Structure 1
Amino acid sequence: MGGAVLVGLDGTGNSEPAVRWGAEEAAVRNLPLHLLHSWTSQPWSVSSGAEDAELRRYGTEVLRRAEATAKELHPGIPVKAEQVDEEAADALAERGREAALLVLGSRGHDSIAGFLMGSVSLRVLGRAECPVITVREEESSVGPGPEIVVGVTSEGVAAGDAVLGYAFTTAAAHGACLHVVRARTPSSALRTVTARPQDGAEGTASEQELLSAGLAPWREKFPDVQVIEEVVSGRAVPALLGACSRAGLLIIGRRTQRMPMPLGPSVLAVLHHSHCPVAVVPRR
C-alpha cells in the first residue's frame, strides 16, 4: 500500500480522534501522515464574521495542534501539514487519488440533524478513490483492536475485490482477527443448475462453501491472519451491525459508478448506526 495516510481536519472536536487514528495507521503501515485543513471550509461558529487572515491563523493553529498530537503518539512518523483555500471536499477528493487511506472525523449520528451536518464527509465518501475511515468524535481508540468486521457479497468474494484486499491488509497490519460476514437474503439465495431456489440450511451451506472458496486465496496470501467466516440469514445492514457490536472497525464497499446517489442506502445506514469506525472502500 503506497501513498500517505491523509487526514481531513475541520478544526472542531471531531478532528482529534481522526488525527489519532490516522497517526496509528501511518505508524503500523510505515507510511507518512498528511494533515489537511481548508481555511475556507471552517465551521460556521469559527468562520462567521472572521477576516481571511484570521481564518488562516486559526487553520495554522489547527494544523499545529494536530501535528503535535500525531508526533506525541508516534514520534518517528513523517508528518506533512497543509492548509489550502480550496473547498474541503474538493481538496480531500483530489489528494485522495494519491493517498493510501483517508481518515475523516464524524460529529456522530445520533440524530438526523447531526448526520446531515457531515455533508463534507458524505461528499468525500462518494468521490474518494481510496478507502475512507470515518471516526466519531467520542471515539477513544487509536486502532481497530483485536477484531475487524468486513461485509462481503458473493460477487465480491468471487472477484477477490478491493474490499477483501483492504480488509486482509488492515488485519495483518494490526494483528487483528478478521470476521468476514456474508448476509444471505431470499433474493440472494444461490440457484442450482435447474434454477430451483435453495432455501434454509441447504442454501446457507452452499453460500458458506462459496464464501470459503472465495477466501481461500486470501488465507493463503495472509497466513497469519485469523479469519472467522459467517453467513447470516437476513439483510446486510442488521447483519453487519450485529457482527460489529464488539469490533473496532467495520469495513464495507461501495460502487464507484452509482449515480445519482454515490452512496447507496446500505452504506448510509451503516454510517448512521455503526458504533465503531467505518471504512468505506471503493470497488473498481
Structure 2
Amino acid sequence: MTADEVEDAPVSVLLGAAAEAEMLVVGSHGLGSVRGFIVGSVGQEVVAEARRPVVLVRPGYEKEGSTASGSDSRRKVVLGLDVNEVKDELLNFAFDFAGRHRVPLEVVHTWHESFVHHPGAAAKDERAAALADAIRPFRDRFPETEVVEVSAHGRAAEHLIEAASDARLVVLGRRRAARGAHIGSVTHAVIHHASCPVAVVPHT
C-alpha cells in the first residue's frame, strides 16, 4: 500500500487516480439524517464523472456488520438492474464480486405504476420472465454463483435501500455521458441512504 499527499482540487486528483485503477474507493462524511450516510459534493462529482467503478464506504460499516462471534452478517451482494438496459460491465462486476467473495447475488428489478393501476399476475410473471432472460447468460458464465431474482412492484430506490440492510455491497449502473455529469435519481437516493457500501459502475 502507498500513500500520497497531493495539493490540488480533490475531484481532479481522484478522477486522475481512477483513470489508472480498476476501482476507486471513496469514504463518506458519516451518518446521514435518515439511516444512511452523507455523500458530499466531491463524492458525487467523482461518481458522476469517473470512467471506472467507484465504491462509496461510510465509517463504521465493518463494525456494524459484525456479529457477536465476529463474523460478518452481511452475506449477499445486491444488484439493481433495469431489464431494458442490460449492460455487460454492470453484470460482470456484480457477478464477479459475488463469486470472488462466495456470497449470493440478489438481482433486483422493479417497476412502478400509479396507485390507480395495480399489476396483475400476468404483468408480474412477464417482469419476472424478463429478469430471468436478462441474467441467464451471466448465470451460465458464473455457474458457481448463487443468484436470487427479485422482481418487485414499487420504487427502485426503496427496494434497494431495504435490501442493503443485510448486504455487503449494492451495485448500480451509470451511463457514461458525453457531456455533463449525471448519476440519476435512484443512484442518488441509494448512495445517500443505503447502510452498506455502494458500487457505481459506469457503462456505455
In the superposition, the TM-score normalised over structure 2's length comes to 0.85
Residues 216-261 of structure 1 show CA distances to partners (whole Å, capped at 9, x for unaligned) of 1101111110000010101111111122221111111122218655
Change (3 A) 1:282 1:144: farther
- Alignment partner, residue 165 of structure 2: 245
- Alignment partner, residue 38 of structure 2: 115
1:95 is aligned to 2:17:
yes
Residues 145-188 of structure 1 show CA distances to partners (whole Å, capped at 9, x for unaligned) of 4201000001233xx4321111001011111100000012238x
Classify the secondary structure of the residue corresponding to 1:279: strand
The structure number with the bigger radius of gyration is 1
Gaps in structure 1 of 5+ consecutive residues: 1-78, 188-196
User: Which amino acid letter does the alignment assign opposite residue 176 of structure 1?
Assistant: V
1:144–1:249 contact (8 Å) kept in structure 2 = no
Q: 1:131 aligns with which of 53, 56, 59?
A: 53
Classify the secondary structure of the residue corresponding to 2:5: strand
Q: 1:163 aligns with which of 85, 90, 95?
A: 90
Classify the secondary structure of the residue corresponding to 1:82: coil
- Alignment partner, residue 28 of structure 2: 106
Change (3 A) 1:144 1:103: farther
Greater helix percent: which structure? 1
Distance in 2, Cα, partners of 1:181 & 1:104: 24
Change (3 A) 1:170 1:126: same
- Alignment partner, residue 146 of structure 1: 75
Gaps in structure 2 of 5+ consecutive residues: 66-71
Of residues 142-151 and 127-136 in structure 1, the stretch that sits farther from structure 2 once superposed is 142-151
Classify the secondary structure of the residue corresponding to 2:177: coil
Q: 2:108 aligns with which of 181, 198, 217?
A: 181
Deviation, structure 1 residue 135: 0.7
User: Which amino acid letter does the alignment assign opposite residue 132 of structure 1?
Assistant: V
- Alignment partner, residue 17 of structure 1: none
Of residues 174-183 and 96-105 in structure 1, the stretch that sits farther from structure 2 once superposed is 96-105
In the superposition, the TM-score normalised over structure 1's length comes to 0.62
Larger RCO (CA under 8 A, 6+ residues apart)? 2
- Alignment partner, residue 7 of structure 2: 85
The Cα RMSD (Å) is: 2.5
Residues 36-55 of structure 1 show CA distances to partners (whole Å, capped at 9, x for unaligned) of xxxxxxxxxxxxxxxxxxxx
